[in-house]
Chains A and B, each alone.
Chain A
Amino acid sequence: MTRYDAIVIGAGHNGLAAAGLLARGGRTVLVVEKNDVLGGAAAGYEIAPGFRAPRFAHLLHAWHPQVERQLDLAAHGLAFARRDLATLSLADDGNHTIIERGEARLAAGNSLPDAAAFAALHRRLQRFAGVLAGKLLQVPPRLESPDWRDLAGLAKLGLDLRRLGAADAREFLRVLLSNAHDVVLDEIADGPLAGALALDAVMGGHSGPRSPGSALTLLYRLAQGGGRHLPKGGMAAFVGALAEAAQSRGAEIRRNAAVEAVLVENDRVIGIRLADGEAMKAPLVLSSLDAQTTLRLTGVEHFDAEAVRRIRHVRCKGVTAKVNLALSALPRFDGIGEDLLGGRLLLTPSVQALETAFDATKYGELPACPALEVLIPSLADPSLVDGSGHVMSIVVQYAPYHLKGGWNDAARSRLAATVLDLLERHAPGLRDLIVAQDVLTPLDIERETGASGGHWHHGELSVDQMLTLRPVNGLARYALPVGGLYLCGAAAHPGGDIIGAAGHNAARLAMKDWALLEERVA
């Protein structure tokens, strides 16, 4: 039987980052991936011959620079086609808003009444987010810990809070558990600008702008940087650089290798078994899968009933779908030049519209007007398409996992039609340019990536599932109760979005435990 120091389950960005760091630390590492394509939710693919598109996630806005440095990704081929994309929030009346580096203006050039208020709000939120930012690469503290490091971490949080000053600290605590709707509309009028900010608060999650805690999710997003970057060569190239970084240090990657079970003996992992029956041994197993799937693969019997109860109640109803298009030519958007089209286009006309769209989702219905985040990555990176033509990648916020009547072909067509109708309001004739299209529902996301509920973040990113509560109370420090088993993906702190911090933190802890283990053996 083949032996490794560590086995990483899932070749998503977190799995690959963990593998790279473990290999860098001198461990022999095997990554097993059930799909033929690497990348999980960050994978790229060919939507039609010669058209390369991101399958799910389509830009990097939170990728942690420290992880990038430690893995030396630039040396392994990571480059950016465009950094700090501007956001263009489309308005039905053609008065589109451009948001760039915390400032907003109207695309037409005339002044935006809320510009000053928005800039002030953005600055304040960014400052608040700074209090959280330092926590991303840290292991969440134990609240009842005798370890001084946990207490020091908590003390630092208190100190950062004090450093905001009395007025800001008060405001921080006021908005912390409030909702995005109130935080945004207290300062600026409802419209495409407010809608854009609110969309950042709910993207990927089963929550609306009025959902309690959505303000914290917004801060959390801002804490992760905020700049949005397009990797050169698409998401596939980004994943390729991660894989290359791991492999160059000796990590082995097996594709088409679905894990059937995590093997446990005497309360410690001893390896994994693949669906085809082949077993591999390793004293460390890092799972980048969500908590429920990891629980299932390991076996409920190895977890206390309380842990099982908490894990099975992790909220993970996916509500985000994807529509990918291969286009014969660049679509013409009314009143928008090519330079702006290369950025991030949002169709989120107002906070109110966003909440209305979420309402439908709560009852298992497709909203009439979901919010859209649209990218045409081939504008900044022509290498994505052979010859002429473009690819368009559309994130659809609010398409329920539990759709009434189920996700059949008719429902998929309805989702595509809704999205195209919304886009054609601004880009008439878009339909005529379509060479190929893919509709990926939360169900498809679950089937392809394995994420329970098709949830982008492997569990709702809300206050009851963050920090010391992610994925659940008592298991927030990557290590699961079975010795040598770790969560290294979005299910663990700091959660979803393409950050890489979970993989980084888990790998670091696993190596620390390894060292202790070796010491004990010696």
Chain B
Amino acid sequence: MTAGFLDRPILEPVAAATPMVPRGLVPSPFDARLRPLNLHQDWMPWAGHLSARRFDSVEAEYFAIRNQATLFDISPMHKYRVTGPDAERVMNRLMTRDVRKIAPGRVGYSLWCDEDGFVIDDGTLFRLGRDDFRLCCQEPQLGWLSDVAWGFDVTLREETEEIAGLSLQGPTSFAVLEAAGLGQLAALKPFGVAKVDDGLTVSRTGFTGDLGYELWVPAGRAIALWDRLWAAGHDFGLRPIGYAALDMARIEAGFVVCGVDFKSIHAAVRPTRGRTPFELDAARLVDFDKGHFNGRRALLQHAKEGPRYKLVALEVEGNKAPHAAFVYHRKKTEAGHITSTLWSPTCKRNIALAMLQAPYGVDITGDLWVEIYHDKEGKWERIMAKAWLTERPFFRHRRRSLTPPARL
């Protein structure tokens, strides 16, 4: 074994001037603009960062997502840059899907697994160049990425603090971009990413099931980007939103969240809490034909044995959303529980994501019931509501994929 093989550094050395780990929550690069707009001063932590839960009214913010345009600060998202001659091999080794099929200038959603085939996290992979990737995800992954990249010719860099991100979503989001002088992005297709200038990268991605973009700039240019969009958005109903409204839209769009709808195996104390991609209803993201990737052998075994759980989309009768509710079969056998739910203002019905334990959701899909407790003006009531499987997404607008995009 040569010394080089053992000792080659993968991580970029941290500059000596890098400040110590900050205490408390780190304010966003957009903080100076967000703070005065946040009438409720309603903040929440997100990966160690200060993030808005709501600015004014959750309902108004939600309807802005569905009818106008909205800005959501996604800077706290973990961002990793993977570059070098082996970048594609390393990303392909990490991901369950075939990264070679994501062309430069494209974005792919994928998840990644541990050696037992249990999901560690999911995220969006931006292929910025042939040998240049950016991975955005919910959980910290620097240690894991270093393990996956060991022995390969790549450089890893955590960009979470360096890169500020704004999610511009809603029917008028392209109109806002155009008014901001970014009309050339009309050609950008869904899951496309384009470099506008040296500092600004824009992708047509989002979490809402509707037209939307994500804009990425170096943190130092965050305020300028905000001001540019804010000024352009006035006539298009642009408003800032917090996580509460976004969460409603993402459930409608049928997206799962790590830590909510499933537990990262790296965060689980009990190994049985891990979930395979099949159990998360993401079999389409597993490509056994692409060669070895992390967890492949275990996943082949899982595929043979069949899922132990199944994440399903449910519709529930009535207008009381079944928060944290148990799911029953024939009103008596426990079949699982609800992980995310709301009464959807757009779909006009109760929608939910649920984790069912096999055979429920796999072989037995009918006669499902949800036990809902709700506070009726100081009196708790219990409802056994009928539920049935449905397809995800609950909501997806045609606008989401039209190119060139709708202007109004």
Residue of A nearest to B150 (CB): A308
The distance in angstroms between the C-alpha atoms of A296 and B264, with both chains bound, is 30
Q: B1 contacts the other chain (Cβ, under 8 Å)?
A: yes
Residues of A contacting B89 in the complex (Cβ-Cβ under 8 angstroms):
301
- Among candidates B1, B144, B294, residue contacting A296 with C-beta atoms closer than 8 Å: B1
Query: Which residue of B has the minimal Cβ distance to A295?
Result: B151
Residues on A with C-beta less than 8 A from B292 are: 267, 301-302
Which residues of chain B are within 8 angstroms of A446 by Cβ–Cβ distance?
A: 1
Task: Evaluate contact between B144 and A305: CB separation under 8 angstroms.
Answer: yes
- Known A-B contacts A267-B297, A312-B6; the reply to A304 vs B115 at CB < 8 A is yes
In the complex, A87 has a CB within 8 A of chain B: no
**Docked pose: A309 CA to B291 CA in angstroms:** 20
User: Given A305-B144, A305-B150, A308-B150: A293 and B1 within 8 A (CB)?
Assistant: yes
**Across the interface, do A309 and B1 meet the contact criterion of CB distance under 8 Å?**
no
Q: Which residues of B contact A307 (CB under 8 A)?
A: 115
Which residue in chain A gives the minimum CB-CB distance to B297? A481
Shortest CB distance A142–B (Å):
14
Q: Report the minimum CB–CB distance from B225 to chain A (whole Å).
A: 36
User: Is the beta-carbon distance between B151 and A308 smaller than 8 angstroms?
Assistant: yes
SS of A interface (majority)? helix
In the bound complex, do residue B150 and residue A301 qualify as a contact, i.e. CB atoms below 8 Å apart? no
A306 touches B (CB below 8 Å): yes
Identity of the chain A residue whose Cβ is nearest the Cβ of B300 in the assembled complex: A267
Contact B93–A306 (Cβ < 8 Å): no
Q: What is the chain A residue whose CB lies nearest that of B144?
A: A305
Q: List 13 A-B contacts (CB under 8 A).
A: A267-B292, A267-B297, A290-B1, A292-B6, A300-B152, A301-B93, A304-B294, A305-B93, A305-B144, A305-B147, A306-B147, A308-B151, A481-B297
For A296, the chain B residues whose CB sits under 8 A away are 1, 5
A-facing mask of B1-41, CB < 8 A → 1, else 0? 10001100000000000000000000000000000000000
Which A residues are in CB contact (< 8 Å) with B1?
A: 290, 292-293, 296, 446, 452-453
Minimum C-beta distance from A491 to chain B (A): 12
The 8 lowest CB-CB distance pairs between A and B, nearest first, are A300-B151, A304-B115, A452-B1, A305-B147, A306-B115, A305-B148, A292-B1, A309-B147
Compute how far the CA of A10 lies from the CA of B5 in the bound complex, rounded to whole angstroms: 21
A306's closest neighbor in chain B, by CB? Answer: B115
Instruction: Give the distance in Å from the alpha carbon of A132 to the alpha carbon of B404 in the complex.
Output: 73
Q: Chain B: which residue is nearest A453 at the CB level? A: B1
C-alpha gap A304/B120 in the complex (Å):
14
In the bound assembly, the distance between CA atoms of A308 and B114 in angstroms comes to 12
CA distance A307 to B147 in the complex (A): 10
A312: which of B144, B150, B296 is its contact (CB, 8 Å)?
B150
B322 within 8 A of A: no
Please give the distance in Å from A273's CB to the nearest CB on chain B.
18
Q: Whose C-beta in chain B lies nearest to the C-beta of A309?
A: B147
Task: List residues of A (279-300) whose CB comes within 8 Å of B's CBs.
Answer: 290, 292-293, 296, 300
Say whether B171 faces chain A, with CB atoms less than 8 Å apart: no
Q: Is the CB of A309 within 8 A of B295?
A: no
Residues of B within 8 A of A (CB): 1, 5-6, 89, 93, 114-115, 144, 147-148, 150-152, 291-292, 294-297
Complex: how many Å from CA A304 to CA B115? 6
What is the CA–CA distance of A481 and B297 in the complex, to the nearest angstrom?
A: 8
For A308, list chain B residues within 8 Å (CB).
Answer: 147, 150-151
A443 CB, min distance to chain B CBs, angstroms: 11
Q: Is the CB of B150 within 8 A of A304?
A: no
Extra contacts, 7 of them, besides A300-B151, A304-B114 (Cβ < 8 A), are A267-B296, A267-B297, A301-B93, A301-B292, A304-B294, A305-B148, A452-B1
Q: How far does the alpha carbon of A138 sit from the alpha carbon of B295 in the complex, in Å?
A: 28
Complex Cα gap A267–B150 (Å): 20
- A269 to chain B minimum Cβ distance, whole angstroms, is 13
Residue of B nearest to A474 (CB): B115
Is A305 touching B297 in the complex (CB atoms < 8 A)? no
Residues of A within 8 Å of B291, CB to CB, are: 301
Residues in A whose Cβ lies below 8 Å from that of B296: 267
Q: How far is the CA of A281 from the CA of B150 in the complex (A)?
A: 29
B115: chain A residues at CB < 8 Å are 304-307, 474
Among B1, B144, B152, chain A packs the most CB atoms within 10 A around the CB of B1
Complex interface: chain A residues within 8 A of B297 (CB): 267, 304, 481
Residues from chain B with Cβ under 8 Å of A474 in the complex = 115
Q: Mark A400-437, 1 if CB is under 8 A from B, else 0.
A: 00000000000000000000000000000000000000
- Return chain A residues, CB-CB under 8 Å to B151: 300-301, 308
Q: Once the chains are docked, how many angstroms separate the CA of A300 from the CA of B294?
A: 11
How far is it, in angstroms, between the C-alpha of A307 and the C-alpha of B148 when the chains are bound?
10
* Nearest CB in chain A to that of B94: its residue: A305
Kindly list chain B residues whose C-beta atoms are within 8 Å of the C-beta of A309. 147, 150
Q: Beta-carbon contacts of A193-231 to B below 8 Å, as 1s and 0s? A: 000000000000000000000000000000000000000
- Bound complex: CA of A446 vs CA of B3, how far in Å? 12
Closest to A308 in B: B150
**Among A292, A293, A300, A453: residue with most chain B CB under 10 A:** A300
Distance from B261 Cβ to chain A, minimum over Cβ atoms (Å): 24
Looking at the assembled complex, report how far the CB atom of B356 sits from the nearest CB atom of chain A, in whole angstroms.
Answer: 25
Nearest Cβ in chain A — how far from B272, in angstroms?
12
CB-defined interface of A306-318 with B at 8 Å, one 1/0 digit per residue?
1111001000000
CA A446 to CA B89, docked complex, whole Å: 30
Alpha-carbon separation in the docked complex, A304 to B147 (Å) = 9
Chain B residue numbers with a CB within 8 Å of A305 are 93, 115, 144, 147-148, 150, 294
Determine how close the nearest CB of chain B comes to the CB of A446; give it in whole angstroms. 8
Closest to A316 in B: B1
Count chain B CB atoms within 10 A of each CB in A290, A293, A307, A312 and give the residue with the most: A312
User: How far is A301 from B150 in the complex, measured between Cα atoms in Å?
Assistant: 10
Across the two chains, which residue of chain A brings its CB closest to B145? A305
Task: Report yes or no: A300 in contact with B150, Cβ–Cβ below 8 A.
Answer: yes
Residue of A nearest to B152 (CB): A300
Question: With A and B bound together, what is the CA distance between A234 and B144 in angstroms?
Answer: 50
| Alpha-carbon gap, A301 to B295, bound state (A) | 12
Which residues of chain A are near B148, meaning CB under 8 Å? 305
When C-beta atoms are compared, the residue in chain B nearest to A144 turns out to be B271
Residues in A neighbouring B295, C-beta threshold 8 A: 304
A292 to B5, CA, bound (A): 10
Q: Name which residue of chain B comes closest to A483, CB basis.
A: B297
Question: In the complex, how many angstroms separate the beta carbon of B266 from the nearest chain A beta carbon?
Answer: 11
| Complex interface: chain B residues within 8 A of A481 (CB) | 297
Residues on the B chain within 8 Å of A267, using CB:
292, 296-297
A307 and B152 alpha carbons, distance in the complex (Å): 15
CB distance from A259 to the nearest CB of B (A): 13
B320 to chain A, nearest CB (A): 43
Residues of chain B within 8 A (CB-CB) of A312 are 6, 150
For the complex formed, measure the closest distance between the CB of B119 and the CB atoms of chain A, giving whole angstroms.
14
Instruction: Provide the bound-state CA to CA distance between A34 and B89, in Å.
Output: 30
Query: Which residue of chain B has the shortest Cβ distance to A265 in the bound complex?
Result: B291
User: How many Å lie between the Cα of A453 and that of B2 in the bound state?
Assistant: 10
Q: Taking the nearest CB of chain A, how far is it from the CB of B305, in angstroms?
A: 12
Residue of A267, A292, A293, A453 ringed by the most chain B CB atoms within 10 A: A267
A458 to B: closest C-beta gap in Å: 11
CA distance A453 to B1 in the complex (A): 8
- Binary per-residue interface labels of chain A (468-479) against chain B in the complex, 1 for a CB within 8 Å, 0 otherwise: 000000100000
Q: How far is the CB of B299 from chain A (nearest CB, A)?
A: 11
